[in-house]
């Protein structure tokens, strides 16, 4: 006998030849709040999607309160209502008002009356702080507000379990905390939740347990204090450390470059980053600051963030900029070309990751396999 509300047994999922889940086992009790962390591509989303049958598992069993949902002929729409999901990209109905977004499911799928659905929807909007937006269209809301509506809509379906897949990763940094506050509030009300997140501080204080996933398995799990402060496995430790990052904030044209170098050096020493990588991080940081300083007047301030991964010994230097700010790397003039070259020399890969109303410039600095260059 077990008091598990959800039991996952030896769950496997393959896409063609790609083995994404390689035997996930877990027991989740009612009222637990589980944060799933792990490197990108390790199967976190696929696991959540298998739980509500958006993906059909290749093998294994998922049992929810005694009902095996992986059995042939399972009622997928009903299971999706019981295990309702909040997506990264909100997925609101754009042509419906906020209130209608919340009532359409209960009216059409749960057979609730108009007044009942409306009453509950208004209550929920109140809970997420958006009661006065009931008659607005989603297009009139900010990203953070849209995601709060999406969470309320999810709860409106009376699910047994709420699944959240990186609910804040498409949001601008300024809107993350309002959404996390709403999720924390739901967690306190005793809802059972499974959430994929990169917000480590949040995962630590809002969850009852952490699952660290690696290559399609739950590699380590336990209470937040144990997983974050005393991880058993070197892989978990490396992942947790990577998330500890070093931030350089610039809010004045009088940049103290010596203080910045000193801070970076301390960070590199603490994480045993090789001298070669540390020097290139210094160079890339200096170059990015030089690129962004002319825009400081309009930006007011900017932050460079260095994150180190022990697993592949790469260091990522990134900066988040508003969409209205022209990407200083985009220019076609000679100066932009030179900027790109210097950054590429320091790093190797330069990526631009677009979000809703902002974008990240990311410079990946890898440890070179050998000192010899082609
Ligand atoms: P995570 O959420 O941990 O970043 P995912 O579960 O989204 O990882 O993906 C794990 C792996 O499965 C990735 O390599 C991804 O490309 C692959 N994958 C995910 N969904 C599909 C799909 N529908 N078809 C083929 N490959 C997929
Ligand atoms: Mg994912």
- Which ligand number lies closest to the CA of residue 39? 1
- Nearest C-alpha to atom 22 of ligand 1 is from which residue? 15
- pLDDT, one tens digit per residue, over 37-55 is 998 889 999 999 999 999 9
Q: What lines the ligand 1 site, CB under 6 Å?
A: 15, 18, 20, 40-46
Ligand 1 centroid, distance to 15 Cα (angstroms):
8
Percent of the chain with pLDDT over 90: 57
Strand 314-322 with 302-309, pairing:
antiparallel
Q: In residues, how long is the chain?
A: 374
Ordered domains of the chain (ranges, CATH): 4-234 (3.40.50.300), 241-366 (3.30.565.10)
Residue nearest to atom 1 of ligand 1 (CA): 41
H or E segment to which residue 24 belongs:
strand 18-29
Q: Calculate mean pLDDT across residues 80-92.
A: 91
Q: Which residues pair with 173 in a beta bridge?
A: none
pLDDT in tens, 224-241: 999 998 999 988 987 887
Q: What span, in angstroms and rounded, lies between the C-alpha atoms of 340 and 182?
A: 41
Determine the distance separating the centroid of ligand 1 and the alpha carbon of 263, expressed in angstroms: 37
Portion of the chain with pLDDT greater than 70, in percent: 96
Which residue of 12, 14, 18 sits with most ligand 1 atoms within 8 Å of its CB, as the best mutation to test the pocket?
18
Residue that the structure tokens 């990311």 belong to: 362
Which structure tokens are listed for 97? Answer: 């008002």
Residue 366: half-sphere exposure toward Cβ, Cα within 13 Å: 10
Q: How confident is the model at residue 311 (pLDDT cuts 50, 70, 90)?
A: low
- Cβ atoms within 10 Å of 239's Cβ, excluding its own: 25
Residue 287 clears pLDDT 80, i.e. is over it: yes
Q: How far is the CA of 172 from the centre of ligand 2 (A)?
A: 18
Task: With beta carbons less than 8 A apart as the criterion, state whether 200 and 240 touch.
Answer: yes
CA of 295 relative to ligand 1 center, distance in Å: 38
| Contact criterion met (CB below 8 Å) for 128 and 148 | yes
Q: How far apart are CA 307 and CA 311, in angstroms?
A: 12
Write out pLDDT tens, residues 136-161.
999 999 999 999 999 999 999 999 99
Q: Give the torsion through C-alpha atoms of 127, 130, 132, 134, to 10 deg.
A: -100
Using CA atoms, how far residue 44 sits from 22, 39, 41, 281, 361, in Å, is 12, 9, 7, 30, 25
Q: How many CB atoms lie within 10 A of CB 86?
A: 23
- The reported pTM is 0.72
Question: Which of 14, 41, 42, 51 has most ligand 1 atoms within 8 Å of CB, for mutation?
Answer: 41
Q: Specify the pLDDT at position 176.
A: 86
Assign residue 84 a region: left if phi > 0, alpha if psi is -120 to 50, beta otherwise? beta
pLDDT band at 172 (very low <50, low <70, confident <90, very high): confident
C-alpha 86 to ligand 2 mean position (Å): 12
> Which of 57-61, 268-272, 312-316, 322-326 has maximum average pLDDT?
57-61
For residue 373, the model assigns a pLDDT of 41
Residue with the smallest CA separation from ligand 1 atom 23 is: 15
Reported as a single tens digit per residue, the pLDDT across 335-353 is: 778 888 888 887 778 889 8
Q: Cβ of 313: how many Cβ atoms within 10 Å?
A: 16
Give CA–CA dist 198/164, Å, rounded: 12
Are 248 and 259 a contacting pair, CB within 8 Å? no
| 216 CA closest ligand 1 atom index | 10
Identify the CA nearest to 243 among candidates 259, 227, 256: 227
- Burial class of 262 by CB neighbour count within 10 A (0 to 12, 13 to 18, 19+): exposed
**pLDDT computed for residue 105 by the predictor:** 95
Angle, helix 143-156 to helix 114-127, in steps of 10 degrees: 130
The rounded Å distance from CA 129 to ligand 1 centre is 34
Which residues does 79 contact at the CB level (< 8 Å), separation at least 6? 52, 53, 64, 69
Query: Distance from the CA of 85 to the center of ligand 2, in angstroms?
Result: 13
Banded pLDDT at 70 (limits 50, 70, 90): very high
Distance CA 65, CA 367 (A): 49
> Among 11, 15, 170, which is best to mutate for testing ligand 1, by the most ligand atoms less than 8 A from CB?
15
Residue 58's pLDDT band (cuts 50, 70, 90):
very high
| Euclidean distance between CA atoms 99 and 248, whole angstroms | 42
Structure tokens belonging to residue 161:
């379990």
Ligand 1: atom nearest CA of 166 is 2
- Average pLDDT estimate for 261-265: 89
**Which residues fall within 8 angstroms of residue 367, CB to CB, at 6 or more apart?**
274, 276, 277, 313, 314
Task: Kindly state the helix (H) or strand (E) to which residue 155 belongs, with its residue range.
Answer: helix 143-156
The mean pLDDT of 195-211, rounded to a whole number, is 92
Return the structure tokens found at 46: 């696929």
Q: By C-alpha distance, which of 303, 356, 301, 351 is closest to 327? A: 351
Q: What is the per-residue pLDDT for 47?
A: 97
- The C-alpha angle 341, 342, 344, rounded to 5 degrees, equals 65
β-pairing verdict for 161-165 and 83-86: parallel
Q: Going by CA atoms, what residue is nearest to atom 25 of ligand 1?
A: 15
């Amino acid at each position: 006998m077990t008091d598990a509300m959800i039991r996952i047994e030896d769950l496997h999922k393959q896409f063609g030849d790609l083995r994404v889940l390689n035997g996930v086992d877990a027991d989740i009790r009612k009222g637990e709040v589980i944060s799933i962390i792990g490197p990108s591509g390790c199967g976190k989303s696929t696991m959540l999607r298998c739980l509500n049958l958006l993906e059909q598992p290749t093998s294994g069993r998922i049992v929810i309160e005694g009902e095996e949902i992986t059995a042939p002929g399972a009622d997928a729409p009903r299971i999706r209502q019981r295990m309702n999901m909040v997506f990264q990209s909100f997925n609101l109905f754009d042509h419906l008002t906020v209130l209608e977004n919340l009532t359409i499911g209960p009216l059409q799928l749960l057979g609730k009356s108009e007044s009942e659905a409306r009453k509950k929807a208004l209550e929920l909007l109140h809970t997420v702080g958006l009661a006065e937006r009931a008659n607005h269209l989603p297009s009139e809301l900010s990203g953070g507000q849209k995601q709060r509506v999406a969470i309320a809509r999810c709860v409106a379906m009376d699910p047994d379990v709420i699944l959240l897949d990186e609910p804040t990763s498409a949001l601008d940094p300024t809107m993350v905390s309002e959404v996390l506050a709403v999720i924390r509030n739901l967690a306190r009300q005793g809802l059972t939740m499974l959430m994929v997140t990169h917000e480590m501080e949040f995962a630590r204080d809002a969850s009852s347990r952490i699952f660290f996933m690696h290559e399609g398995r739950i590699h380590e799990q336990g209470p937040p204090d144990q997983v974050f402060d005393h991880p058993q496995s070197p892989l978990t430790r490396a992942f947790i450390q990577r998330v500890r990052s070093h931030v350089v904030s610039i809010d004045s044209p009088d940049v103290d470059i010596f203080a910045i170098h000193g801070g970076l050096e301390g960070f590199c020493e603490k994480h045993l980053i090789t001298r070669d990588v540390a020097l290139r991080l210094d160079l890339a940081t200096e170059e990015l600051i030089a690129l962004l300083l002319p825009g400081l007047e309009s930006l007011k301030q900017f932050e460079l963030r260095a994150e180190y991964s022990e697993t592949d010994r790469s260091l990522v230097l990134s900066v988040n900029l508003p969409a209205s700010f022209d990407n200083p790397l985009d220019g076609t003039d000679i100066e932009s070309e030179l900027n790109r070259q210097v950054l590429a020399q320091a790093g190797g890969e330069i990526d631009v990751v677009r979000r809703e109303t902002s974008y990240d410039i990311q410079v990946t600095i890898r440890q070179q396999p050998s000192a010899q260059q082609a």
